[in-house]
Structure 1
Amino acid sequence: MNQTPQPSGGPPWIDPDIQQHIHWRDGDVVISVPPKSGTTWTMNIVHQLLRGGTRAFDDIYAEVPWIEFLGHPEQSPREVLDRVEAMPADRRRAFKTHSAPPTLPFLPAGTDRTVKYVVIFRNPEEALVSFRPFLEKHSDAWYALWQVPREALCRPDFPSFYNEVVDSHGLQGAFFGFLAAWWPLRRAPNVLFLHFSDMKRDHEGSIRRLAAFLGIRPDDRQWPVILEHTSFDWMKRHEARFEARSAGKVPILDSGAMIRRGEAGHARDDGMTPEIAAHLRARGQQICDDAEAIDWFYRGGPLP
């Protein structure tokens, strides 16, 4: 298995090194997900489980911080770390990251602090076609704040986006390098792998599996609330709560960026061509040389 790291040349508002300095607590939950692979959905699922089903929040990013993210160019990593440390000590914390080990520190089970890692995967073709409109929906104010030209990340169609943004910057590593890094840890007792396609096929079963992994036992009154509040329809109706409106100095996203379609199996409809799909898979096999891992990455189902 090649241990290819994720590419380091990401946008300036992401600083993966921050998480190396977090003081982890017993019971922390880390949601580790490649871009556009069910991140916001899983953040909400974990939050709903930890709080027993709730609508009493304005921004999921205030509840589940992104531990690599800077809200403006003047914000220091120390500010992020101080905010994380100031979170209440009387309840479990949850965090979002797009990193995998070793960029994300991994604490094995059996240490003095038990950290649980919820690791989500999605067919990389689907994730990449979703990535292009997501970057387009970053606001002009956000790009201007960071002095990043919109044309550095945005293209009018998926083939040009793949060739000129993804491939030219080696962004396949953000997906296949993530897989290569996590795959050897898939059987660790404090790691849970979930696949987006399986979560879509069995919403309730996936959430119950996640609850069991986290050691959470909602009662009969809480379960219907949790299931409702983690549904695509409920999240779409309350979309403002999932658009990171409190995270940046200026609005990061235009409306509709975070919750787009909530579907699996539509990569071809969104611009993925057979030629790009073949190139993506070939590049992925260079990054992650485990054929079983690659096959599971694309299809989900039981772990091999």
Structure 2
Amino acid sequence: MMSFEKLKRPTTIKEMHQCSWKWITKESWLKGMSFQLKPTDVVVSPYPKCGTTWVQQIVHGLRTRGSMAFDEIIEVSPWLEIAFDVGINLDKPQPALPRLFKSHMFWEQIPKGGKYIYVIRDPKDTLVSKYHFEEGWWFEKGSISIEEYAKDSFIPDNAYWLHLLSWWQQLHNPNVLILCFEDLKKDLSKYIPLIAHFINCELDQELQDIVLRQSSFEFMKKHEHKFDEHITRGKREKVMGLPSNADVSKIRKGDVGDAYLELPDSVHELLDKIWNQVVRQKTQFKTFQEMRTALSEVNYSSYPLGQSQPYPQRQGKGELGDPPMRTPKNMRFPVIE
């Protein structure tokens, strides 16, 4: 049996793709697709590197009043597609209601019957974030340039844009909440009441303050080990042929506009061209910024942002008449400072 010490990271796009296909088995994927969701379940389901872990932390904080009693967030918010591969029972009891899950599936693939939070993010910043996340883990640092990664890995299958369109079609589905990464970064306090209402969680000022603090970059960076995939990596790296000494971090500051400093002009032009060919043809939005503005208007009309009172017109099927789930002030999970 090959030891971890003898394993080497890919140094080419081809090697990286051969490795990445082993990340999730077909059996595990199919089990995730067929999982039976309950009407109150919440699935955080953006494209990779669009704020998935951040929103998981927000929702988990809302439902538990800030519990940090987990080794890694996958323990309290299982990943539908990979749970079987890492030995996690999707039906195991969770710390609080609503049950919370993660996924990166397309709308057409994801099990139906629950509630879903999707986050859009500028594709250029998404590319930069994904590159830095995988560099040093899925491929050797310095072996693949960001331009090569963009042109030969991120762009060819149009996955980002097709994923975006798949979920954008659900914009007016009452059981789907679509948010914008850039707007969350700009003023998260406006969106916590919206998220709380969507998951049917009663919000008070103390809880909002807890969630704001514990979803800050500084807090999550300080407790990075709870968000670094070490449980998943421990189960899958050897299968993939990867050494185990990766310095993996999901917690990057994610500054808006990173891409404009890192991507060469040729990549900017390619990404703009794909937006026009794929997204604009379906939505009429000329740019991501136009989509962001339209989304903000939809969310504002449904929930006057910054207010904490529920707005029934956005309630989904199966929840009408249900009282908000209370997170009692005396529910004292361990809260880490």
Q: Above 0.5 in TM-score?
A: yes
Question: Per-residue deviation at 1:300?
Answer: 1.7
Aligned mate of 2:56, from 19, 43, 52? 43
Partner residue in 2 for 1:158:
146
Q: Establish whether residue 17 from structure 1 lines up as the match of residue 30 from structure 2.
A: yes
Relative to structure 1, the CA distance from residue 129 to residue 232 in structure 2 (aligned partners, 3 Å threshold; closer, same or farther) is same
> Contact 1:137/1:257 (CA < 8 Å) preserved in 2?
no
- CA RMSD between the two structures: 2.8
TM-score by length of 2: 0.71
> Contact 1:62/1:247 (CA < 8 Å) preserved in 2?
no
| Aligned-partner SS, 2:234 | coil
Show the 5 A alignment for 1:141-290. 150=139, 155-167=143-155, 170-173=156-159, 175-249=160-234, 254-255=246-247, 257-270=249-262, 272-288=263-279, 289-290=281-282
Unpaired runs of 5+ residues, structure 2, are: 1-16, 238-243, 299-337
Relative to structure 1, the CA distance from residue 161 to residue 90 in structure 2 (aligned partners, 3 Å threshold; closer, same or farther) is closer
Show the 5 A alignment for 1:21-100. 21-69=34-82, 75=85, 79-80=87-88, 83-88=89-94, 91-100=97-106
Question: Per-residue deviation at 1:70?
Answer: 5.9
Unpaired runs of 5+ residues, structure 1, are: 1-7, 108-114, 144-149
Question: Per-residue deviation at 1:256?
Answer: 5.0
Aligned mate of 1:103, from 100, 109, 132? 109
The code of the aligned residue for 1:223 comes to Q
The code of the aligned residue for 2:166 comes to A
The code of the aligned residue for 1:261 comes to K
Question: Per-residue deviation at 1:57?
Answer: 2.3
Report how many aligned residue pairs link the two structures. Answer: 268
Is the radius of gyration larger for structure 1 or structure 2? Answer: 2
TM-score by length of 1: 0.78
Partner residue in 1 for 2:331:
none
Partner residue in 2 for 1:3:
none
Q: Deviations over 1:145-181 (max 9, x none)?
A: xxxxx47x984321111123234xx2432x1011111
> Contact 1:135/1:154 (CA < 8 Å) preserved in 2?
no
Q: Establish whether residue 127 from structure 1 lines up as the match of residue 126 from structure 2.
A: yes
The code of the aligned residue for 1:287 comes to V
| Aligned-partner SS, 1:247 | helix
Question: Per-residue deviation at 1:276?
Answer: 1.1
Aligned-partner Cα distance in 2 for 1:238–1:98: 24
| Aligned-partner SS, 2:74 | helix
> Contact 1:33/1:121 (CA < 8 Å) preserved in 2?
yes
> Contact 1:118/1:191 (CA < 8 Å) preserved in 2?
yes
